[in-house]
Chains A and B, each alone.
Chain A
């Protein structure tokens, strides 16, 4: 498992990349492996106000439907529309072209509740529950 050091991770298997007051969110390499071949992604809509822990996207693999939860509160300011045509980017580049949305954070203090790469790796290695 290759989890970038500079990212933060949730216990729901999302990653967060912080740039100023904005946070890009995607699902982790562990999560995409668990899901298998991703065939459909329902991205949130730009402008959507979200609260940490709220369902804001759906990722479907061949066999399963998985809800994706935003780890942070704020407003969705950008979404990865390319996933409409190339959902497999979630499998191929979970930390790159497979990003899901960018959130303008309303409460950056929520970042403190997230795990660092080492903490997430330990969590995932224990089964991730």
Chain B
């Protein structure tokens, strides 16, 4: 039975078309995916991301523990900073990718993918042996809104006296008030745009949604669903777990090399990942554009030189660029921009060319 977020009724009120996603009932769209995509790129969009999981890590060994379970260097973090990191198995395959929030040297919050909450929780607990840390799964007690787009800061400024304008990308305010409710605000997101994510109590979520919509509507804010969340992150070439990352795909293969730090010391997967960094991985995630008509989709075969050289991980029409693009895991020799490949669509080889990633980058970033 799929779960409802605290905003389920709100989505129905706003005309959300509900689908099941990772065990949750969430809106795929309200007005239309392309219109919502454009709203986020040009003005702002408001997403319900309450399905995401939250796990706190506290205790004297919190840092040492996190250094073991994730691939990025957590020791580099300051208080109130956010860090993106993959989390790997000993064989280098990916357990999940997550955001780490540092409240203090012994106090962290991990934000994990909704579909992976149970798996991650087990993995995190199993890895806790020998460390003086206390883990708590706060997923059910935390709701989350994502306000994304160039107008996001102006909208936030209408709702809070907190210094959101000074908040740097990947930094957070641990305790702010938005419209009188206590929230944690981070300057993070998954769209390639500027934006904020608001973590709140479930009982405050609907009130905050309405308040943000009221403040933002005059500035072009639109409610935004999972459909455009995917097309937005795809244009920005942000990985999606289960597509660009999985137990079979390492973060080095996914091109996330700057989030893998063997120099920090031992961690799960280090030998495999360090070797991949050193020699270069055998397979790589590459971006491509179809040069003939068609839409590439996940799982479609990628062909070159008369044989299969990889698989599409995400493919879609890219609304901002008005092109049919994709990402694929291919043999490393074929991952260079300019390389001619083909994607097998309904039994037919459709010509494509490897292009640089990301496909979309906002100005000034």
Binding site for B on A (CB under 8 A): 36-37, 39-40, 42, 58, 60-63, 65, 84
Contacting A at CB under 8 A, from B274-298, are: 293-295, 297
Contacting A at CB under 8 A, from B320-353, are: 324, 346
Instruction: Give A33's nearest chain B residue, CB to CB.
Output: B17
How many chain-B residues does the 8 Å CB contact rule pick out?
Answer: 17
Residue among A36, A39, A84 making CB contact with B295, cutoff 8 Å: A39
B240 at the interface (CB under 8 A from A): no
Whether the Cβ atoms of B33 and A40 lie closer than 8 Å is no
Please measure, in the bound complex, the distance between the C-alpha atom of A58 and the C-alpha atom of B293, giving whole angstroms.
Answer: 13
Distance (whole angstroms) from the CB of B312 to the closest CB of chain A: 13
Please measure, in the bound complex, the distance between the C-alpha atom of A84 and the C-alpha atom of B293, giving whole angstroms.
Answer: 8
B25 at the interface (CB under 8 A from A): no
B25-40 near A? 1/0 per residue, CB < 8 Å: 0001100111000000
Residue among A37, A58, A60 making CB contact with B32, cutoff 8 Å: A37
Q: List 6 A-B contacts (CB under 8 A).
A: A37-B33, A39-B324, A40-B295, A58-B346, A60-B295, A65-B295
B72 at the interface (CB under 8 A from A): no
Whether the Cβ atoms of A36 and B33 lie closer than 8 Å is yes
Whether the Cβ atoms of A63 and B33 lie closer than 8 Å is yes
B267 contact set on A, CB distance < 8 A: none
Contacting A at CB under 8 A, from B178-222, are: none
Distance (whole angstroms) from the CB of B2 to the closest CB of chain A: 18
Distance (whole angstroms) from the CB of A81 to the closest CB of chain B: 11
Distance (whole angstroms) from the CB of B232 to the closest CB of chain A: 11
Residue among A42, A60, A62 making CB contact with B227, cutoff 8 Å: A62
A37 contact set on B, CB distance < 8 A: 32-34
Known contacts A62-B33, A62-B317, A63-B33; is-contact A36 B297 (Cβ 8 Å): no
B34 contact set on A, CB distance < 8 A: 37, 62
B316 at the interface (CB under 8 A from A): yes
Instruction: Give A34's nearest chain B residue, CB to CB.
Output: B17
B319 contact set on A, CB distance < 8 A: 62
